[in-house]
Amino acid sequence: MTIRTRFAPSPTGQVHIGNLRVAIYNWLFARHAGGKFLLRMEDTDRERSTPEAVQAVLDAMTWLGLEPDESPVYQSQRRQAHLEAAEQLLSKGLAYKEDKGGTGRGEAVLFRMPGSAMTFHDEIKGDLHKQAKDMKDFVIVRSDGAPVFHLANVVDDIFMNVSHVIRGDDHIENTFRHIALYQALNAPVPKFAHLPMIVNAQGKPYAKRDGDAFVGDFREKGYLSEALLNYLALLGWSPGEDREMMTRDEMIRLFTLDRVQSGAAQFDPKKFEWMNGEHMRALPKEVHREKYLAAIPNAGDDPAYLDAVIDVMQERVKKWPDIPGMAGFFFTEDYPYDEKAVTKRLRREGALDLLAALKEAYTSLDPFNAETTESALRELADARGAKPADLIHPVRIAVSGIPHGPSLFHMLEVLGKARVVRRIDRTLERFG
RNA sequence: GUCCCCAUCGUCUAGAGGCCUAGGACAUCGGGUUUUCAUCCCGAAAACAGGGGUUCGAGUCCCCUUGGGGACGCCA
- CB burial string A360-380: b at 16+ within 10 A, e below: eebeebeebbeebbbebbeeb
The string of pLDDT tens digits covering residues A217-229 is: 999 999 999 999 9
Rounded mean pLDDT of A404-423? Answer: 93
Q: pLDDT class for A388, splitting at 50, 70, 90?
A: confident
Strand B at less than 7 A from CB of A319: no
pLDDT in tens, A275-327: 999 999 999 999 999 999 999 989 999 999 999 999 999 988 988 999 999 99
The more confidently predicted of residues A275 and A387 is A275
Q: What angle do CA A280, A67, A283 make, to 5 degrees?
A: 15
Q: What is the ipTM of this complex?
A: 0.94
pLDDT reported for residue A208: 84
How many other C-beta atoms are found inside a 10 Å radius of the C-beta of residue A53? 19
- Asked if residues A48 and A91 have their Cβ atoms less than 8 Å apart, the reply is no
**Nearest residue (CA) to C1' of B6:** A263
> What percentage of chain A exceeds 70 in pLDDT?
100
Closest by CA to A426, choosing from A342, A330, A359, is A359
**Closest by Cα among A336, A324, A337, A326 to A297:** A324
- In window 128-187 of A, residues with CB < 7 A from nucleic chain B are 128-131, 134, 136, 138-139, 142-144, 146, 148-150, 169-174
User: Quick count: other Cβ atoms within 10 Å of Cβ A248?
Assistant: 19
Average pLDDT over every residue of A400-412: 92
The residue from A36, A92, A125, A208 that is catalytic is A208
The nucleotide minimizing the C1' distance to residue A403's CA is: B36
Range A98-114 average pLDDT = 88
Rounded distance between C-alpha atoms, residue A239 and residue A154, angstroms: 31
Q: Residue A159 CA to B50 C1' — how many Å?
A: 49
* CB of A265 within 7 Å of some strand B atom: yes
Q: Tell me the CA–C1' distance in angstroms for A199 and B51.
A: 29
Rounded distance between C-alpha atoms, residue A336 and residue A267, angstroms: 36
Residue A101 in this model has a pLDDT that exceeds 80: no
* Measured CA distances, A373 to A183, A360, A363, A366, A388 (Å): 79, 12, 11, 9, 12
Q: Report the share of chain A in percent with pLDDT over 90.
A: 78
φ and ψ at A38, to 5 degrees? -115, 165
Instruction: Report residue A211's pLDDT band, with 50, 70 and 90 as the boundaries.
Output: confident
What residue has its CA nearest to the C1' of B13?
A: A238
The pLDDT score that the predictor gives to residue A359 is: 92
- pLDDT at position A57 is 96
Q: In this predicted model, what pLDDT tens digit does every residue of A59-73 receive, in sequence order? A: 999 999 999 999 999
Q: Greatest CA span in chain A, whole angstroms?
A: 102
Does residue A340 carry a catalytic annotation?
A: no
Centre a 10 Å sphere on the Cβ of residue A42 and count the other Cβ atoms it contains.
18
Mean pLDDT of A334-346: 88
- Tell me the pLDDT tens digit for each residue of A141-162: 999 999 999 999 999 999 999 9
Q: Are A236 and A124 in contact (CB under 8 A)?
A: no
Interatomic separation, CA of residue A161 and C1' of nucleotide B73, rounded (Å): 28
Q: Return all residues near A183 (Cβ < 8 A) that are at least 6 apart.
A: A114, A189
Q: What type of residue is A97?
A: K
CA distance A311 to A411: 10
Phi/psi region, residue A346 (left: phi>0; alpha: psi -120 to 50; beta: rest), is alpha
Q: Which nucleotides of B are covered by protein (CB under 7 A)?
A: 2-8, 10-16, 23-27, 34-40, 68-76
Mean pLDDT score of chain A: 93
**What's the Å distance between residue A131 CA and nucleotide B2 C1'?**
12
Amino acid at A257: L
Q: Protein A395 CA to nucleic acid B74 C1', in Å?
A: 73
Is residue A244 pLDDT above 90, yes or no? Answer: yes
pLDDT tier at A120, thresholds 50, 70, 90: very high
Sign of the Cα torsion A281, A284, A285, A286 reads negative
